[in-house]
A and B are shown apart, each in its own frame.
Chain A
């Protein structure tokens, strides 16, 4: 019987990641400082130091499909503490950009949808229109509605949302900048599915 390879490492990926991030993943000595200080490690499927190691092993698919790269809160603790000056948070950003470009199935779709909703709003008006962004996010994640009703999260969100609205903190009308053509220029480079 012919044995099947479970993992297909992409060895040239390390070079690619180092070059596109401007960082040197290769200098990591696996001290785990990044994972120890990471405030969201409890919710991750792969820990930050493991992501770094997996990049070196060329495990592209495994990293790009992970939920961790989207769960990262960009708090920059790992970047601040890395003894080898690796900007770990930037590596995570590079992974998110890579994941979208590779069109893999995203490990935590809701976070990507959130970023897309924010960017769509900026693209349209030059500023963040929160009510519109929230509406867009809820529409695009409507598949999670039942679980949100069951957990009570939706009811809680509605309560808070109503209060914010009454306090004038969620505006009905978006504020639009004058030179919206600048936004058009900046956003032109993004392809469909890569945000906004």
Chain B
């Protein structure tokens, strides 16, 4: 199977382990990722609140390249995915302002989590599980933009998504119900209002602890970064040490599929998750 791939800026930098584990998982599942040629940043978070035309143009440039390639387009970053879907609907529904482009809205745009949750790939994953994630207690954290707003993302279960829970259960992990699956981590306020991000991300970690999870699993580089990097500040604010591992779902998928490279991603976290995995006999 071959698909077009838009890694986005984060997967080459702060979300490095998301990119590496995505590539590894796809290789194991025999999915060829064809990176969009000369792709540009979609401007997620910043362009849409500055100039609407600019925001649509930045995403459409990539969509146009993908349409020429003629393959389904897979995007691991939730924020990029949502901006691409906004541009897709903008062009298909011929909304104002009009954009000068050859793109016609014909290329299927999929978030990586939804793509890997397609029936055919779930079967492929099932057949290749080598190391079930037995004993791992996790909550799945979807964040905002994989599902919201559903008119744009086409998500069916937007308040209580289930795809990541199903995938992790298939891998042998124990997942918990909690009501914070799609609550906000603070997103791009990371630099401008770190106090707000620490508050929101802190609440997520607290609620995950309350239901008995020992880690959170994400599908967005911004969510992972906020949850992973703000635990020093949380420790300071709460007067106790906070060290909750924050995984990308692809890291756990790669681990379960028996990838020998897992250590090289896991060591890149701010909160090192390897201790937890070792304690469960998973690493």
Contacts and interface: CB of A to CB of B under 8 A. Distances in A.
Contacts of A153: 194-195, 233
B184 A190 contact: no
Q: Which of A43, A89, A156 has the most CB of B within 10 A?
A: A156
A150 interface: no
Contacts of B50: 96-97, 100, 115-116, 119, 190, 194-196
B150 A80 contact: yes
Interface residues of B, number: 54
A11 interface: no
Interface stretch (B22-30, B35-43, B240-248, B252-260): B35-43
A177 B38 contact: yes
Nearest to B100: A185
Given A93-B48, A119-B43, A119-B47, A175 B12 contact: yes
A171 B13 contact: yes
A157 B43 CA distance: 24
Nearest to A195: B50
Main SS class of interface, A: helix
A83 B54 CA distance: 29
Contacts of B9: 127-128, 130
Contacts, number: 168
A137 interface: yes
A71 to B, nearest CB: 7
Given A156-B233, A182-B61, A190-B51, A77 B191 contact: no
A171 B184 contact: no
A97 B52 contact: yes
Nearest to A155: B232
B148 A80 contact: yes
B193 A126 contact: no
Contacts of B194: 153, 157
B54 A190 contact: yes
Nearest to A96: B49
Contacts of A79: 148-149
Given A22-B95, A110-B192, A183-B40, A74 B12 contact: no
B49 A74 contact: yes
Interface in B1-46: 9-10, 12-16, 38-41, 43, 45-46
Interface of B: 9-10, 12-16, 38-41, 43, 45-54, 57-58, 61, 95-96, 144-145, 148-150, 158, 183-184, 186-189, 191-196, 199-200, 229, 232-233, 236, 267-268, 270
The 4 closest A-B CB pairs, nearest first, are: A195-B50, A75-B184, A76-B148, A128-B9
